Amino acid sequence: MPPTLVDMVQRVKTSRRKRARFRYPSPEEASVGYRDLPHHEASGGGSIEALLRYEPLVLKWWKLLERSEVQAERVDELGPNSFRGVHPGPTVLEHPDGSIFISLRAPSAEAATRVLEALVRERFELPRPPERIDEMNGVIREIAESEVSVSLFDGEEEFCVELPRKIFEDGHVPLREDEGFQFFVDRYSDGLEKAVVRPLPRRELSAEDWETIDKEIGELLDGE
Amino acid sequence: MGNERGAESSSLLSLHVVGAGIGESIILQIPHESRPGRFHWGVVDCYSASKDPWKNPTLRFLRSKKDLGACRLDFACVTHPHDDHLFGFWHLFASDDVVVEKFWRFPADDWTLLRAFRGLSGDFALHAEYPRLERELSNLLKYTKKHRKSDDPSRYRRCLDYNKAVYRRLIHTIDSGNDVLLEISSLAPSSKQLDNHADRLAACLGDEESPRKRLFDPTRYDREIHNLLSVVLLVRFGDTHIILGADAECDSWIDILGNSDREEDGVHLSCDVIKVSHHGSVDAFHQPAWEEHAARRPPVVIITPYQRGSSRLPDSVMRERFAGCASEVHVTSELAEIGRVRKAFKSNFLRRKILRHVAGSSLPVHGKTVRVDHMGHVLRVDDLTIE
């Protein structure tokens, strides 16, 4: 049986109209690496299509990452509103020579990278990154010998817990009362959970920020 | 929840003090002068750990007493801008089924206060809880706009928003024919405390000429300064005197006692019930004030604890001191409501940690109900539980 180019793992979930426009790349087109799908321009930038070339070597993986960054620039140029409607799942095309083409739509470069990472890991059984869960901001309340009393804020409520002192040392969070930190739990594929703290990103407010703030406060107080 | 309606006496004043480990809400249930079985209601401070109005314990309590008219509040008072007295206060105004006739609040410049909270929110590394405080205050101002714009100044009153020291500012009365059934006055803050607060808040700003152009410096900020604004209320129900101390500290009590108009006004601090100020901390204990509180007879003392990190109020030493001045000491609850597990955390790590702090997954909110008559008698103190 002659080799077929297309082995679609997951069909693009999109409207009939969009599917009609979708055209898989010819081997010649694919061999040049990555490029825009032809219909992308025709759709007036209504969606982002990233066609990325991947060869099954870990060495090449980094090239893929680089290319996803190239895509990131374009996402920014189009602006956040350019990505509307259905977000179809990724489509994986395998070439008989071992090359893989991944077509995906994502609202941002970061999202595209995450999907690509997951696809490649699944295919080559690379260890999955831990799942980040229970992300919250926290503040240190009291420091004891082995444990630190903290308040965690999930945006809605405050929870008081005690965390081991060691995780603050590992996370380079200064151990002092009223110090803020980011908290999350990394859950690994084998079920292992690891609590992680990080220093909160500081954001100094500039004079321009204060102008915006004062305007908002003025509107709230309505001239009072 | 609470007691059955049959137990409600139509001639007694009930003081429901909710405070489960952190934060406090005080609900006054005042007998109606002409309609037996109906009551006037008022709320002084409100704390809800959750931003969801349906989880607000004060609102849940009021709704449970809807048939007694609790959803129409004669007044609502927020004593000072601290999270444990303010979080969830705006729910009273945002709820369709609750009407607030009059709103009294601490005297402070909203502009500077909001700027300060926003400045602290911008520097999360120092103050992780300020984004919510700023949001809560903004919501409160937004929802009380109708009161602020009212032509009737009594509908929106900044307690003691004045330029000279005034002792015993009468802010509310309920008349019964020719007699005054209930009288509420504010004893603090004094103008000296207000000036002190304004100065200390201004010290967090830079050196620009216009205060509105100065940038806020969070490192100079001390959250305790807002205790200077604490509104202390004196509730007179016939011969029964009740003092609600909010978070007033020693300086406030010194100012109250030192006021030269006090004797002329015939005001004294002796009381039958006192909600201890600042959660029974040593900073709020002023011996001369307590001597005056107990001048007529030792009062019933209610303490709302504050159990958060290194702050464990009241401590055992202070409990003994209060016991020495009081006929009875009641603590609303030692259990921190905020520690409850209201949501299912994804990680077993956090579930285990939080469950170590609390005994169950759905804990009720605890408090105390004090019932007094108008003759200066404290008749009963009951446990209050809001499921």
What is the reported pLDDT for A122?
Answer: 64
Average pLDDT over residues A3-15: 33
Residue of A nearest to B352 (CA): A161
At B299, the pLDDT band (50, 70, 90 cuts) reads very high
Q: How far apart are CA B274 and CA B297, in angstroms?
A: 12
Q: Which residues of B touch A153 (CB under 8 A)?
A: 128-129, 132
The pLDDT of residue B3 is above 90: no
Locate all alpha helices (DSSP H) within chain B, ordered by sequence. 57-64, 83-86, 91-94, 110-122, 130-143, 145-148, 191-202, 250-258, 262-265, 287-293, 316-325, 348-357
Q: Which residue has the tokens 């994986």?
A: A92
Q: Mean pLDDT: which of A13-17, A26-30, A69-73, A219-223 is highest?
A: A219-223
Locate all alpha helices (DSSP H) within A79-128, ordered by sequence. 109-124
The pLDDT of residue A189 is above 60: yes
Average pLDDT over residues B298-303: 94
Would you call the peptide bond into B314 cis, given omega within 30 degrees of 0 as the criterion?
yes
At A212, the pLDDT band (50, 70, 90 cuts) reads confident
User: Cβ(B216)–Cβ(B126) under 8 Å?
Assistant: no
Q: Residues of chain B with pLDDT > 90: what percent?
A: 29
Nearest CA among B272, B276, B292 for reference residue B284: B276
Q: Residues of chain A with pLDDT > 90: what percent?
A: 4
Starting from the edge strand earliest in sequence, which strands make up the sheet with A158-164, in order? A158-164, A147-153, A131-143, A180-187, A193-199
What is the reported pLDDT for A214?
Answer: 86
Interface probe with B: pick from A135, A142, A148, A161, most Cβ of B within 10 Å: A161
* DSSP annotation of B224: G
In the structure encoding, which two tokens stand for residue B93, read together? Answer: 């105004």
What is the reported pLDDT for A94?
Answer: 55
Is the CB of residue B177 less than 8 Å away from at least one CB of chain A? Answer: no
Average pLDDT over residues A2-16: 33
The pLDDT of residue A73 is above 60: no
- Around Cβ B151, how many Cβ atoms within 10 Å? 5
Interface probe with A: pick from B124, B144, B223, most Cβ of A within 10 Å: B124
Question: Is the pLDDT higher at B351 or at A108?
Answer: B351
The pLDDT of residue B302 is above 90: yes
Task: Report the range of poorest mean pLDDT among A91-100, A135-144, B281-290, B302-311.
Answer: A91-100
> What are the tens digits of pLDDT across the range B5-31?
444 567 899 999 988 777 899 999 999
Q: Which residues of B touch A181 (CB under 8 A)?
A: 128
Is the CB of residue A195 less than 8 Å away from at least one CB of chain B? Answer: yes
Residue of B nearest to A200 (CA): B125
Gyration radius of chain A's alpha carbons: 24
What is the reported pLDDT for A127?
Answer: 63
Question: Is the pLDDT higher at B375 or at B51?
Answer: B375
Q: What is the mean pLDDT of chain A?
A: 60
What is the reported pLDDT for A76?
Answer: 30
Is the CB of residue A158 less than 8 Å away from at least one CB of chain B? Answer: yes
Q: How far apart are CA A161 and CA B308, in angstroms?
A: 10
Q: How far apart are CA B178 and CA B166, in angstroms?
A: 27
The SS3 assignment for B311 reads: strand
The pLDDT of residue B240 is above 80: yes
H helices then E strands: how many in chain B?
Answer: 12, 17
The pLDDT of residue A54 is above 50: no
At A48, the pLDDT band (50, 70, 90 cuts) reads very low
Please count the residue pairs, one from chain A and one from chain B, whose beta carbons lie less than 8 angstroms apart.
136
* DSSP annotation of B266: T
Q: Mean pLDDT: which of A12-26, A194-208, B73-87, B111-125 is highest?
A: B73-87
Task: Report the range of poorest mean pLDDT among A18-32, B44-58, B168-182, B252-266.
Answer: A18-32
Does the pTM exceed 0.80? no
Q: Which residues of B touch A198 (CB under 8 A)?
A: none
In the structure encoding, which two tokens stand for residue B85, read together? Answer: 């007295």
The pLDDT of residue A107 is above 70: no
Nearest CA among A160, A169, A161 for reference residue A197: A169
The pLDDT of residue B205 is above 60: yes
Average pLDDT over residues A104-108: 59
Average pLDDT over residues B238-255: 92
What is the reported pLDDT for B89?
Answer: 93
Task: Report the range of poorest mean pLDDT among B86-90, B226-230, B379-383.
Answer: B379-383
Is the CB of residue B161 less than 8 Å away from at least one CB of chain A? Answer: no
In the structure encoding, which two tokens stand for residue B228, read together? Answer: 């200077």
The pLDDT of residue A38 is above 50: no
The pLDDT of residue A111 is above 90: no
Q: What is the mean pLDDT of chain B?
A: 81
Average pLDDT over residues A49-73: 32
Q: Which residues of A touch B347 (CB under 8 A)?
A: 133-134, 185, 187, 193, 195
Average pLDDT over residues A114-132: 67
The pLDDT of residue A24 is above 50: no
What is the reported pLDDT for B312?
Answer: 77
The pLDDT of residue B303 is above 90: yes
